[in-house]
Structure formats: structure tokens, C-alpha cells
Structure 1
Amino acid sequence: MTARNVAGTTPLDGWRQGVQAVLTETEVFNLFTTIEQPIFFDLNWLQAHSPRRRGFVGDDLREVIKTIFPYDLAQRIADRPELYREYLRRHDRAMRFVRNRGTWGTYFERLVRFPDHPDTNQLETVISKLSTWPKRSGTSLVFHLSTPARDTPRTRGGPCWQFGEIVWHPGDRLDLVVVYRNHDFFNKALGNFIGLGQLLNFICAASGKTPGRLLCHSVHAYNGGKVEALRALAA
């Protein structure tokens, strides 16, 4: 089982390289994607590369992004505590709908309110440490996205993002390193890359740091749609 390495400048570039690997091999184990400028986000992607908006049976790219970072809400609410409160209010209301009952939640929820530990805001802790610690290149700060108390073993389904790590480099540059146990390159991966880039940008803006790279380890990368649909989506 040989690892594969792909790279791109933007989230779209990195995703397209991963798509080519998945189309060539059907599925890839241990796919490593490096994105040099993950904070770049072209709103035209929301139409051009969204399965649902392109008429395929699949996810809406906007909603995938917002499971990681609510970029539209963050544009309207500059105050971080208010952003967290308003997000959780909307999230909790949505979870009361019948269609959402039994779902595990969202990644952003777990970043700002960890299951069974409602006062644990991992995102704010990381921002605080980056803002108050002495300059320490090489320091790493970790996010946990899954919990054995809530997340029963399953072959597919969320949460697929398991782990995140902010790496503090010389020059106050921050990389974001993430691990996904399963990664659907038709429905999820592009939205994940965009959302992670926007999350990194948010952390850097709040802590006075410079965004670096996104490095993603997809333990199992696959196509959750049809071959021709994925090829058309990535064109």
C-alpha cells in the first residue's frame, strides 16, 4: 500500500490533483495533499464545482464548507463570542428538524463546543495560546474532532475529519495539518479544503499570524459519485 502525494496552489488545484489520482486508481489509501495557498476562495467555485448545483445527485458545496467554517455568518459577525453563540443557536435549531435527528453534528460545532464538554471551545483556546504565548516556532496546537463516547465505529459517515494540528513556523506562519479517515472526492473533499482554508484564515486573523499551507492526509480517498460525474465536476 503505497502513499500518494499531490500538491496544488489553491484548494481547487489540490482537489483536482487528488481527483486525478482517485480516477486513475478508483480508491487511494494514504493520499497526502499539500495546498500552498489554502485561504484563496473563488466564489465562482460554489456553482462550477458543486455536485448539486451542477445537477448531479450529491452535496451542495456551500453546505460542506460551512460544516467546517461558517464563512457567510463570519462575514456578518466580527465579534468571535457572538459568532460562536449565533452559530450554535442556529445549529441547535436545525438539529431539532426531523431530517437532522440522529446526525452527529458539524465540525465547527465540535471546535467551539465539544460533545459532553459544552464549555470546551477548542478554537478559542488555540487562538488564545497563539496570541499570548511567547514566539515559539515549531509549537503545535491540536484539535480533536471525534470522541469514542459519541462516535460509534462505522464504515462510512461522519465525522471523517479526525484530527487537526496548527504548526507554528518561524516568521509567525501557521500551517494546518489534518487527518481524514474516509474522504469522498466527489461530495466532500473540495468543500473540506475550502472550509479548512477559511478556518486557518480566521485563526490567523484573530491571532495576528500569517496563513501557511494546508496539509491533508486522506487515509482512504474515493469517489462517492459516478466516474463521469466526477470528471465533469473537476473540469
Structure 2
Amino acid sequence: MQMPIATLDDRVSVSSAWRNAVGYLKQQPGRKCYNLAYMVTQPDAWTQEDASTIAAFDEFAKGAGRHPVTTVANTIFPLACYRVRGADGVFEHYPDEIYPRVKTTWGTYAERMLRRRDAQGNLLRHRDGQLVNPLKSLTEKLRHRVAAARGTKTHYELPVSDEVFEISTYDPVRDARYPRGGPCLSHLSFKLDPSNNVRLTAFYRSHFYLDRALGNLVGLGRLQRFVADQAECDVGPLTLIASEACVESSLGTAKAAAVNDFLAKLGI
């Protein structure tokens, strides 16, 4: 059976986009769909709806024994490191000092954007001895392009692979042995539009809308804001594409009835 791409209406903020996607997925057979796509027009905005939705989610997640939004968001972008130490806090302090203390079997997106490793787990270096830092290379190239007001505006990629302008988070050396698990976020693609706004498209191989998606959206918005700041640009839209997306019927210790009650309180 052929299934069309599920393209949802644009939403202004990340929480509004999340609520809309959860509402759509609830109505689908098995509470999931293939090829879900939508756009957040102001991903770095912070509205009262964002605050209330995230507060409600965090309370629910705590009761279910799951991670709050900020914990999930920090796996994509370590905001506290940026606020306290600036860009060096992201590029150097987080991967060298913080990540080794907090790393688990999940939540490695930020480290994958900031370092590259070989099959034995050794850090890769450029010929000059500098550590390979895909995110830093990408932001430097974007900044140079904007300053020069010329050059291509469409090839700033982060496969989270080892190409400098690709950030792919899926690494076949590290992840191929897992029949399930590993990074769900597969690729990040940054573009400069004609107005020099930084646009971001994030590709997920699978996306779990209760356990991860809200925190993922917040983290992606923060990452996009950081890249735009480093390139001295404004933030453009954030586009999410998931080859498979679902909203779980239960989460942690929260069974179906508790999940349904939580979503009903949010008007979903």
C-alpha cells in the first residue's frame, strides 16, 4: 500500500509544531506514519505556549521516570556551555570536559557534531594536528561566505559522515551493529537563503514524539540560533523530516490511560 508524504501545516514555535504533530499521529493507524514533514517558522522563538507546554511535559516525564525537555535538548546543543563560556564552551569545553562525564549509550549527537573518531574510537585530526570539528568548520565557512557576500549558499551539511560540510549523526562504524537504537537523528543540512537567513533541515530515521521529539525540537532551535550567531546571520525556518514517526501509547511507568490524560490536558 502506498502512503503519501504527511506534510503538516507550518507552525510558528517548536511547541506548537510538536502539539500539531502529536495530534496528527494520534489519529493514524498504530499511532505512527511514514515520511512526516513540517516546518517551524520561528524555531528560536519562546512563547508562553512553549513555556506552559514544556512545564507540563516535564511534570509528566518526571512521574513517568523519563528525561525532561532540557536534558534531551542538551544532547543536541549544550546551551549552558554556550551561555557560560561562549563558542569555545561548545567547540572545546563540552566535548573535552563535559561529554566524557555524561556520555551514555544515547544522547551523543552534540559530540558527533564536534568530534570525529576512527573505528577504534580514536579522535581524528587534520594534517596540522588540529582535531576534526565539523560544527566549527561549518560555522567558519558560513561566516566567511556571508562576509564575502559571494559563493555558494547551499552546501553546509552536517551528517551527524566525515565530510567537512556534512554532519551525519549516524556512523556505520559505531552504529551498524545495533539492530535497534543508535542515533535517530541522521543528518543536518544548513542553507543560507537570499536574505542570509540560516535555514536548517533535520532528517530523522525514526522519531518518538513522547520520549524525545519535544526536546529534540528545542535543541535543534538552539543549535540553529548558535550557527546563525556564529555566521552573523538571522535564523530562518526549521524543517523536520522523519522517515518514520510515532506517538507512543505508553512511556516509562506511564501506561496508556496516563498518557491519554496528559495529552488531553494539553488539548491534544
- TM-score by length of structure 1 reads 0.88
- 2:212 is matched with 188
Q: Following the alignment from structure 1 to structure 2, what is the Cα–Cα distance between the partners of residues 152 and 137?
A: 33
Aligned to 1:3: 5
Aligned partner of 2:88 in structure 1 is 81
Cα pair 1:49 1:233 within 8 Å, conserved: no
CA distance in 2, matches of 1:139, 1:52: 38
Unpaired runs of at least 5, structure 1 = none
Q: Does 1:35 align with 2:40?
A: yes
Question: Structure 1 residues 208, 4: CA separation in 2 closer, same or farther (over 3 Å shift)?
Answer: same
Contact 2:57 2:68 in 1 (8 A): no
Compared CA separation, residues 27 and 82, structure 1 to 2 (3 A): closer
Structure 1: distance between partners of 2:177 and 2:265: 31
Larger radius of gyration: 2
Separation in 2 of the partners of 1:195 and 1:67? 7
In 1, the alpha carbon distance for the partners of 2:178 and 2:199 equals 30
Q: CA deviation at 1:109?
A: 0.6
Contact 1:19/1:234 (8 A) holds in 2: no
| RMSD over equivalenced CA pairs, Å | 2.0
Q: Percent of aligned pairs with the same residue?
A: 26
Considering Cα pairs closer than 8 Å and 6+ residues apart, tell me whether 1 or 2 has the greater RCO.
1
Matched, 1:231 2:240: no
Of 37-46 and 8-17, more deviation after overlay is shown by 37-46
Matches for 1:1-235 after TM superposition, within 5 Å = 1-6=3-8, 7-25=10-28, 26-41=31-46, 42-50=50-58, 51-53=60-62, 55-78=63-86, 80-88=87-95, 89-95=97-103, 100=104, 103=105, 105-116=107-118, 117-118=123-124, 119-133=131-145, 134-135=148-149, 136=151, 138-144=153-159, 145-152=169-176, 154=178, 156-224=180-248, 225=250, 226=256, 227-228=259-260, 231-232=263-264, 234-235=266-267
Change (3 A) 1:77 1:234: farther
Q: Is the CA contact 2:184–2:204 (under 8 Å) kept in the aligned structure 1?
A: yes
Structure 1 residues 174 and 148, CA gap change in structure 2 (3 angstroms): same
- In structure 2, what is the Cα distance between the partners aligned to 1:45 and 1:37? 17
More strand by share: 1
Looking at structure 2, the residues matched to 90 and 11 of structure 1 have their Cα atoms a distance apart, in angstroms, of 27
Contact kept? 2:138, 2:156, Cα under 8 Å: yes
The aligned amino acid for 2:138 is V
